[in-house]
Amino acid sequence: MSDVFSRIEQFGVVPVIKLEKAEHARALGRAFMEGGLLVAEVTFRSAAAPEAIALLRKEYPELLVGAGTVLTVEQVEAAKSAGASFAVTPGFNPRIVDACLAKGLPVVPGINSPSQVEQALERGISLLKFFPAEASGGVKMLKALHGPYADVRFVPTGGIDASNLASYLALSYVAAVGGSWMVKDDLVAAGAVPELAALCREAVSLARAARAK
């Protein structure tokens, strides 16, 4: 496993962020630092993503910043140019995954079926995003996937929050969970650092407690 993926597993939680304005990243980065959650996925669901990624990398070098919802080769290039440490895709598009690999950008492709898992394994990728987690069968489906693919680790995302993350992190083959409950849009837009930092701190604490059981 690459150092990038080891760091994702270290925290157990990956905030999935949509930033309407790149400048909102400044306060958010401070909240991550204060909350002890030093990994983030900035999604390309907003045109501000490349600028926000570059800002976070420059002002908070301790943060591990990835690019999420990467759907096109152009976005792969933009993510790499902005300094993203990794990329995340919602589904398994061989063209996009191969573009990430060609650029040396670690990628966590989205999967929710055995066929997609096998496409990843064919490329030497064994850390996969399970998405949309709850809608795809949740913990029950993950257990089924783990059976034939015992060496694969997962980052379930979609429908996960503070109320159910423990059921996922209790599985030894879940590296981390992704979610946006700790980066609520209204708090991010308001630059509410203390509130965001508290939510991040709580997320890290819940993840640690879940793994300790």
Nearest to 151 by CA among 175, 176, 178, 167: 175
Catalytic residue among 41, 62, 77, 143: 41
> Catalytic residue at 51?
no
Amino acid code (one letter) for 126? S
Number of other residues whose CB lies within 10 A of the CB of residue 79: 28
* Residue for token pair 């209790």: 170
Catalytic residue among 74, 77, 129, 134: 129
* Rounded distance between C-alpha atoms, residue 187 and residue 180, angstroms: 12
> Catalytic residue at 9?
no
Burial class (CB in 10 A: 0-12, 13-18, 19+), 186: exposed
Q: Are 158 and 135 in contact (CB under 8 A)?
A: yes
Would you mind telling me the total number of residues written for the chain in this entry?
213
Catalytic residues: 41, 129
